Amino acid sequence: MNRSLFLLLTLAGSILWVGGVQAEELAHERLPELMPEVQRVLDKHYDDLEQLYKHLHANPELSYQEEKTSARLAEELRKLGFTVTERVGGYGVVGVLKNGNGPTVMVRADMDALPVIERTGLPYASKVRVKDAEGRDIGVMHACGHDMHMACWVGTARVLTELKDRWSGTLVFIGQPAEERGGGAKAMLEDGLYTRFPKPDYALALHCDGYTPHGVVAVTEGLALANVDSVDIIVKGQGGHGSAPHTTIDPIVIAARIVLDLQTLVSRETDPLDSAVVTVGSIHGGTKHNIIPNEVKMQLTVRSFKTSVRHHLLKGIERIAKAAAQAARAPEPEVIVHADEFTPAMVNDVRLTRKTAAALRKVLGEDCVVSKPPMMGGEDFSRFGLAGVPICMFRLGTESPKRLEEAANGGRPVPSMHSDTYYPVVEPTLKTGVQAMSAAVLNLLAK
């Protein structure tokens, strides 16, 4: 080959390549003409989807106990013609629908609720009560919007099956258990999600966002959510009579010191330009006013973006707990890092996220798609990406714009996710969720 022909071909190749990247980041050209059809199917099914949402909201199940919820999701997919496998990694549901050649797209909804007594006052509020491991009476509530994720997921499955002649490829719809405990995605992967079923080329999910108005979705390219660790500290002392503290080693005082000292891990030991959180979310010790107990149990959530920061925090927690015990002549405390509940930081694939955002802008409007910085929240959806599949999770606004505006102007703050008063405004949230997820999938599979 002569040199100038070689240069010409190289040049042509790089132009095509650049063109290819740009094209990949754009929305599918057919999307605008498909959206009225999506709307038609959504309108037809809306009342039923709302009922399904309210049913799921009123009947929440805790992590690893999603028996009825998963059965309902499996039934929904079967009715639509998916080949459904249940009990994948616990109560996981996998539905596969093959529809000609093309990429495989996975759509994930998480199914578990939280140990929270609901105080929304909604007519469809959860009244479910269960006993926890210690026999205490606790409420169960979908306080993280997973019920909304499931309703949007079923709605999207209905839209896509009715519009089957407009796209080509394979759908893998999964209902994932135990997201709140960080173990569900791992369990499904270990039970062969990517080997027993078609391995996805792309994986999509949405998550409710109480700080974003309904009708709006938020996207984050790249690093989006934090490393999350759960740590227990069992502070040990020597109990006795409350009137004679000198004859005891008081674990409550030691625990109080530990709570305050732990804060220095973030404020004094972490580079101010790095992100870290150490929260003591639960502390229990003692039974009565005048008894010094033998031990105090603490439960922590520990968050970071960088692996090095994560390791420093985990080592620091142990060091501080041991030092406080030693200073008080107490036995060595137990520090337990729950490796099985670790959730790795979530990184949205940049190209898939840009392409999805382009599609969402096209169908929802420029103003209804916003970019948001990363958050210290965690999501084990990250694991589907770490296992080698480009992932994109976008956030679905759930709050009334008026209420957000009032809060921004000094009014009553809006409840955060996991709060006992959090709830999505159903109709606009559900409709936007189904439109957005249907558009995101069609963007990858449309003919």
Catalytic residues: 112, 179
Q: Which is nearer to Zn ion, 144 or 228 (CB)?
A: 144
According to the binding rule CB under 5 A, does residue 42 interact with Zn ion? Answer: no
Least distance to Zn ion from the beta carbon of 166, Å?
A: 31
Least distance to Zn ion from the beta carbon of 230, Å?
A: 13
Q: Which is nearer to Zn ion, 144 or 216 (CB)?
A: 144
Least distance to Zn ion from the beta carbon of 145, Å?
A: 6
According to the binding rule CB under 5 A, does residue 148 interact with Zn ion? Answer: no
Q: Which is nearer to Zn ion, 74 or 113 (CB)?
A: 113
Least distance to Zn ion from the beta carbon of 55, Å?
A: 19
Q: Which is nearer to Zn ion, 145 or 169 (CB)?
A: 145
According to the binding rule CB under 5 A, does residue 235 interact with Zn ion? Answer: no
What token pair was written down for 86? 């249940």
DSSP structure class, residue 446? B
The residues pairing with 130 across neighbouring beta strands, listed in sequence order, are 138
Please name the residue that has the structure tokens 């558009």.
Answer: 439
According to the binding rule CB under 5 A, does residue 144 interact with Zn ion? Answer: yes
Tell whether the torsion through CA atoms of 304, 305, 310 and 312 is positive or negative.
negative
Q: Using CB under 5 A, which of the segments 138-146, 286-294, 337-345, 401-409 binds Zn ion? A: 138-146
Size of residue set near Zn ion by CB under 5 A = 1
DSSP structure class, residue 49? H
Least distance to Zn ion from the beta carbon of 297, Å?
A: 22
DSSP structure class, residue 335? E
Q: Which is nearer to Zn ion, 109 or 313 (CB)?
A: 109
Q: Which is nearer to Zn ion, 170 or 220 (CB)?
A: 220
Least distance to Zn ion from the beta carbon of 208, Å?
A: 7
Cα distance between residue 439 and residue 443, in whole Å? 6
Which residues, in sequence order, are CB contacts of 341 under 8 Å at separation 6+?
181, 182, 183, 229, 230
Q: What is the number of the residue whose Cβ is closest to Zn ion?
A: 144
What token pair was written down for 50? 């709302």
Which residues, in sequence order, are CB contacts of 446 under 8 Å at separation 6+?
28, 30, 31, 34, 166, 167
Cα distance between residue 160 and residue 152, in whole Å? 12
Strands 291-292 and 334-337: unpaired
Q: Which is nearer to Zn ion, 169 or 377 (CB)?
A: 377
What token pair was written down for 91? 């109560």
Least distance to Zn ion from the beta carbon of 30, Å?
A: 32
Phi/psi for 354 (5° steps) reads -65, -45
Q: Which is nearer to Zn ion, 217 or 249 (CB)?
A: 217
Least distance to Zn ion from the beta carbon of 206, Å?
A: 10
Q: Which is nearer to Zn ion, 185 or 320 (CB)?
A: 185
Q: Using CB under 5 A, which of the segments 56-64, 137-145, 190-198, 426-434 binds Zn ion? A: 137-145
In single-letter form, the type of residue at position 62 comes to L
Of 170, 189, 176, 144, give the one whose Cα is nearest residue 73: 176
Cα distance between residue 152 and residue 309, in whole Å? 36
Least distance to Zn ion from the beta carbon of 146, Å?
A: 6
Strands 104-110 and 169-176: parallel
Cα distance between residue 74 and residue 57, in whole Å? 17
Report whether 91 contacts 177 (CB < 8 A): yes
Report whether 268 contacts 335 (CB < 8 A): no
Cα distance between residue 194 and residue 191, in whole Å? 9
- Tell me, residue by residue from 92 to 131, as one string, x for binding to Zn ion by CB under 5 A and - for no binding: ----------------------------------------
What token pair was written down for 26? 């754009």
Neighbours of 132 (CB within 10 A): 10
Cα distance between residue 202 and residue 256, in whole Å? 47
Cα distance between residue 340 and residue 346, in whole Å? 17
Positions in the binding site for Zn ion (CB under 5 A): 144
